[in-house]
Amino acid sequence: MSQTEKEMKQGAAEAENENLEAEHAEANNGEASAGAEENKAAEKEAESKENNDAKEDEKDAKAARKDPKDAQIEDLQDRLKRQMAEFDNFRKRTEKEKAAMYEIGAKDIIEKILPVLDNFERGLAAVPEDEKGSSFAEGIEKIYKQFVKTLEDAGVETIEAVGQQFDPNLHNAVMHVEDEKYGENEIAMELQKGYKYRGSVVRHSMVQVAN
């Protein structure tokens, strides 16, 4: 082998060694970098834990420094708020029950008064034509009108019947008639007036229904 070939072979070996050393150094740098990142993450986690622990310790310290009287006052205030809320619910429920009982009682009394009103109307209808202008007849009519006005002021109203469509919620059909001058299920005659109290039926109208 010539001197030149030996030198070339030696140079190639040296270059290969340099490449291997460079790759080894790069690998070491990568491992070092990864280790540094892991160390940073661990340090950050430890710091966060320390901050949380410090906050918890501060919170516990504040609770420990809290005056027992303040804690008692807060407890009493909380109890008072709950009792006030319970009382308000009780008051609303009582008022609602009272209103319902009042309405039931009022409807019961009105239902008992209605036959008296019916008798007034029958009496006025039975007055002979030649006596309708008498002082007695006029006095009875004034009493009747006052009676009706008092009931209206209390919330009582009559149920419309004649000429209306039959409604089972308002009317009680006791008779039926076939008559072409009336429409289907039209009320032709009212046999007894019906009444409502504050929108609730006290007594259904007794009616005759056509067709």
CATH number of the structural domain spanning residue 174: 2.30.22.10
Share of the chain above pLDDT 70, in %: 69
Confidence category of residue 32, pLDDT binned at 50, 70, 90: very low
85 lies in a domain?
A: no
pLDDT at 10 over 90: no
**Does residue 79 sit within a domain?**
no
Residue 175 lies in a domain: yes
Instruction: Give the tens place of pLDDT for each residue, 43-55.
Output: 677 666 666 666 6
Let me know if residue 136 belongs to a domain.
no
- Residue 165 belongs to some domain of the structure: yes
Beta carbons of 168 and 177 less than 8 angstroms apart:
no
Cβ atoms of residues 137 and 178 within 8 Å: no
Distance (Å, whole) CA 62 – CA 53: 14
Q: C-alpha angle 45/48/52, rounded to 5°?
A: 140
- pLDDT surpasses 60 at 95: yes
Q: Say which residue the tokens 């950050």 belong to.
A: 44
- Residue 3: pLDDT over 70: no
Q: Is residue 173 part of a domain?
A: yes
Of the candidates 79, 81, 147, 91, which has an alpha carbon nearest to the alpha carbon of residue 118?
147
Start-to-end CA distance of the chain, whole Å, equals 137
Q: Average pLDDT for residues 94-119, to the nearest whole number? A: 90
More confident site: 82 or 32: 82
Residue 142 lies in a domain: no
Average pLDDT estimate for 23-33 = 52
Mean pLDDT computed over 117-134: 88
Q: Is the pLDDT of residue 195 over 50?
A: yes
Work out the average pLDDT over 77-104.
Answer: 89
- Is the predicted pLDDT of residue 108 greater than 70, yes or no? yes
Q: How many other CB atoms sit within 10 Å of the CB of residue 121? A: 13
pTM: 0.55
Give the range of the structural domain holding residue 198, as residue numbers without chain letter: 155-211
For the chain, how many structural domains are there in total? 1
Q: Cβ–Cβ contacts within 10 Å for residue 112, how many?
A: 9
pLDDT at 74: 85
Predicted local distance difference test score (pLDDT) of residue 119? 92
Closest by Cα among 209, 206, 211 to 195 = 206
Kindly report the average pLDDT of the chain as a whole number: 81
pLDDT of residue 28: 54
Q: Is residue 200 part of a domain?
A: yes
pLDDT greater than 80 at residue 163: yes
